[in-house]
Amino acid sequence: MKRTNELIVGLAMVAVITVITWGVFAVGDNMPAGVTPYSREVYQLHMIVLGIVTVIGIFVFAAMFTSIYLHRKSRGAEAAKFNHSTKAEIIWTVIPILILVAMAIPATRVLIDMEDTSGAEMNIKVTGYQWLWQYEYLEDDISFYSALDRDSNAARQIGSGISPREVDNYLLEVDNRLVVPTDTKIRILLTSGDVIHSWWLPDLGWKRDAIPGMVNEAWTLIDEPGVYRGQCAELCGKDHGFMPVVVEAVSPEDYRAWVAEQTGGQETAAVDTAMDEMDREALMAHGEDIYEAHCAACHREDGSGMQPAFPALAGNAVVTGELSQHIDVVVNGRPGTAMAAFGQRLEARDIAAALTYTRNAFGNETGDLVQPADVVSMIDPRLDESIVSTDRPPN
């Protein structure tokens, strides 16, 4: 009778804990299955391991609570007097080994698959910068930068008057998305131009660190068209939280049309347009956009800066001084400081507009109108091709 009661109580504990466990699981707080074959392998591995540890947890807690309830002192229970059991030691050694082996086999298979980048149909190089990404399509000769979109950037500024609630996909939208074809195995090469970043997109099932001086590999094959969002997953600096990743997967036909649009017959006209002179209104308007997207994070929207790392631009001797020196600082940066080189990031048109804006905003009022030709004529000729480049979408 005593054994029967113990069995009934034990089964009742198992049932209660099972119901509670599945109740928590049914809430839906689980990792996404993703949209790639590999992400689904990771999800299946996760479910296998979750199932194993859930069963272990149910039986361990059921045994523990049953023992506490049936063998408490108030019922006159007395502790057994023994200090060694060879059988018990063998059991609690062998069973965990078998469990670990059962988990290790599928885990090893998934890890091997993760590293297999062979058979890729296209290659994309991803370079992390503080705080934006550069994407280079190696076969299609397309390159552009992807930064936090203007609405999110404005909403995050204190005193902007814009609530984050008013912005769709707040902090998870960019100005230029990474466009890729579906049903295509893509090898992704990751590196960094400054500090360690981490390119993370949950729907792909993996993340990879982007480390200066080395290249990490990964691959993906997206089954379903759609827009997938992620973030930098490495603490890469003060604006780490404002470095989203957005991938737009389209059909192979739409992708080829997009490539043709980026590299088509309008390239020469685009270069001419990029070098056209602009009037003050156009320079100031475009310059303000560029400043807010690439400069305001460090120097603030009002140009007051954040000393000592980021000096104020209002009344700054470089900003109000010799134009050639100002161009040199923006294009080539300042080694050993937080000032990045924008010569490889922005077009001459963008740099000229940003220079005009900073030299005539924040009370500076130098009256200078900087044109794209001024920027190109004062920089290292070796940079001319990259700084006039128009093979990426305009900012």
Task: Give 306's DSSP letter.
Answer: B
User: What would the pLDDT profile of 248-299 be if each residue is shown by its tens digit?
Assistant: 999 999 999 999 988 874 444 444 456 678 888 888 888 888 888 788 878 8
User: What would the pLDDT profile of 68-113 be if each residue is shown by its tens digit?
Assistant: 888 887 877 777 777 778 888 899 899 999 999 988 998 999 999 8
pLDDT category, 208, cuts 50, 70, 90?
very high
User: What would the pLDDT profile of 304-332 be if each residue is shown by its tens digit?
Assistant: 888 777 889 888 899 888 898 999 888 88
Give the pLDDT confidence score for residue 57 in this predicted structure: 83
Number of H helices, E strands in the chain: 13, 10
Mean pLDDT for 366-375 is 88
pTM for the structure as a whole: 0.72
Residue 24 has pLDDT above 60, yes or no: no
Instruction: Please check whether the domain covering 122-263 is classified as CATH 2.60.40.420.
Output: yes
Tell me how far apart the alpha carbons of residues 55 and 63 are, in angstroms, rounded to a whole number. Answer: 12
Residue 385 has pLDDT above 60, yes or no: no
Block residue for tokens 């050694």: 93
Tell me how far apart the alpha carbons of residues 299 and 292 are, in angstroms, rounded to a whole number. Answer: 10
Q: Please state, as a whole number, how many other Cβ atoms lie within 10 Å of the Cβ of residue 157.
A: 15
What is the average pLDDT score of the chain? 83
Half-sphere exposure of 95 (CA within 13 A, CB side): 8
Residue 128 has pLDDT above 90, yes or no: yes
Counting residues of the chain whose pLDDT is more than 90, the rounded percentage is 33
The CATH homologous superfamily to which domain 267-387 belongs is: Cytochrome c-like domain (1.10.760.10)
Q: Please state, as a whole number, how many other Cβ atoms lie within 10 Å of the Cβ of residue 24.
A: 9
Of 132-146, 227-241, 332-346, the poorest mean pLDDT is in 332-346
Tell me how far apart the alpha carbons of residues 369 and 377 are, in angstroms, rounded to a whole number. Answer: 15
Per-residue CA distances from 68 to 13, 72, 296 (Å):
11, 6, 62
Give the pLDDT confidence score for residue 306 in this predicted structure: 81
Residue 371 tokens, joined: 């044109």
Mean pLDDT for 343-350 is 81
Tell me how far apart the alpha carbons of residues 49 and 394 are, in angstroms, rounded to a whole number. Answer: 47
Annotated domain spans of the chain: 2-76+85-114, 122-263, 267-387
